[in-house]
A and B are shown apart, each in its own frame.
Chain A
Amino acid sequence: MKSAKIAVFVAALAALAAVPVLAHHSFAAAYDLTDPITVKGTIQSVLLRNPHSWFVLEVKGADGKMEEWSFEAGTPSGMIRNGYKPNVIKQGAEVTIKGFRARDTTQKRGMLRELVTADGQVYGMFGPQESK
């Protein structure tokens, strides 16, 4: 298994990529859209649940210790209608997630913008996207 690692990139706002913003709550209130984050790790669980889904992964931190990170995604109904299949991303899958970090930095959480699997499948906040 490749060693997982975490990297945090602080970039200009112009680096923001497609982010569907419609949700029942304001993502900007919970997540800092000026603080992009990229995390590479191993899926622990995918919580396809209401009101918003979560991707939980194990990540090796800068100090070498394993950390658990969670990324909030879209509504399960929207993800499924957009083509997301339950269980398509399984526990143990290596993924890279790009998103925005929670404003409360005491929590290892973020808002998912893009998830890329080891075989190059790309998922957005609300399900499958065009492959790279």
Chain B
Amino acid sequence: MKRSSVTLAFSMALTATAAYCQTPAAKAAPSSSAIPRAADGRPDLSGVWWRGADVGGKGPGAPVSTAAAQGKQGQAKAAPPVTFPSLYNAEAQAKAKTLADKDDPSLNCTSTAFGTLNVSMFDVGAVAQIVQTPKFMIFLSETYNGFQIVPFDGRPHRDAVPPANRGDAVGRWDGDVFVVDKNNFTDTSWISAEGRVSFHSDAMHTVERYRMIDANTLEIEATVEDSKVLTKPWVVPKQTLVRAPFDQIMELNCSGAETLSLIEGAAKAAKK
């Protein structure tokens, strides 16, 4: 009985979060403004980007609530979104059955390998900042003081650095599209947080494509490969972000001890 309640509640959270992940981003005010460009003529991606609202905020980019998600349960259901773990091979599926919320590495302040909202630069949050320089694209995640420095001067991946939770990144321009290639991931982080079992292997490889639609709209497409755990590459749902009405993210550091103790306490209670 207790177990079924846990499963149901967790499913609700998944449903709600999945709904959020699939929610179209807020549209920026109609704009015919030209794409800002750097001195080299390339698009300048610099700025703070989000979905048009923060978690719990107002606006079409805000997350769908649990209640709203529940309200849709009686309606015809669309096909469930293709997620990273939905593509697990048989061995990975078996492993996934042995894991649960309490095993989520983010509970110990480990960043994700991709991002809970299917936006890599968000990590576990809902906002990020890009700083573009002549040689580097710097992605700043609000959560966990996260960053990723992406050189785009033609250099290859580094071969003398240890695996990283967010991988090693290099970039290049494909016309006006900024392409980020990441490899050398650890195998200890998960693709997303919130207790969603989404482990990956050290063979993971991602390619992200960033394209500005106009001055205030950034479109991101990505593909995630992991031959050790997936049956085929995961094509991440296209994400459309808008420029936030502020130019500086905040700090969201992690010290999850309190909640972790609650989860550990819950686990002990469930065993009784």
Contacts and interface: CB of A to CB of B under 8 A. Distances in A.
A126 interface: yes
Contacts of A104: 261-262, 264-266, 268-269
Nearest to B116: A22
A121 interface: no
Nearest to B124: A24
A105 interface: yes
Contacts of A29: 10, 100-102, 104, 195, 263, 266
A78 B57 contact: yes
Nearest to A77: B250
B252 A50 contact: yes
Interface in B125-172: 125-127, 142-143
B16 interface: yes
A25 B106 contact: yes
Nearest to B5: A34
Nearest to A34: B5
B66 A26 contact: no
A92 B14 CA distance: 37
B63 interface: yes
Interface centre among B16, B66, B143 (most CB of A within 10 A): B66
Given A20-B63, A29-B266, A103-B266, A78 B256 contact: no
Contacts of A13: 8, 12, 70
B174 to A, nearest CB: 31
Contacts of B106: 24-25
A127 B56 contact: yes
Contact of A51 (B9, B56, B116, B256): B256
Nearest to B70: A16
A37 B9 CA distance: 16
A126 B56 contact: yes
B263 A25 contact: yes
A51 B67 CA distance: 24
Nearest to B106: A24
A1 B79 CA distance: 54
Given A19-B65, A29-B263, A125 B56 contact: yes
Interface in A48-95: 50-52, 54, 72, 74-82
A19 B69 CA distance: 10
A52 B259 contact: yes
B224 interface: no
B263 A16 contact: no
Contacts of A25: 101, 104, 106-107, 193-195, 256, 259-260, 263
A74 to B, nearest CB: 6
Given A22-B17, A26-B195, A72-B259, A107 B265 contact: yes
A18 interface: yes
A124 interface: yes
A23 interface: yes
B68 A77 contact: no
Contact of B254 (A24, A32, A109): A24
Interface of A: 13-14, 16-34, 50-52, 54, 72, 74-82, 102-107, 109, 124-127
Given A32-B9, A72-B259, 7 more contacts: A19-B65, A21-B194, A22-B117, A29-B263, A78-B57, A104-B266, A125-B56
What are the 10 A-B residue pairs with the smallest beta carbon separation, nearest first?
A126-B56, A26-B195, A104-B265, A103-B266, A29-B101, A18-B65, A33-B9, A77-B250, A30-B262, A20-B56
16 contacts: A24-B116, A24-B194, A25-B106, A25-B194, A26-B10, A26-B104, A26-B193, A28-B9, A28-B195, A29-B195, A33-B66, A51-B253, A78-B55, A80-B250, A103-B270, A104-B261
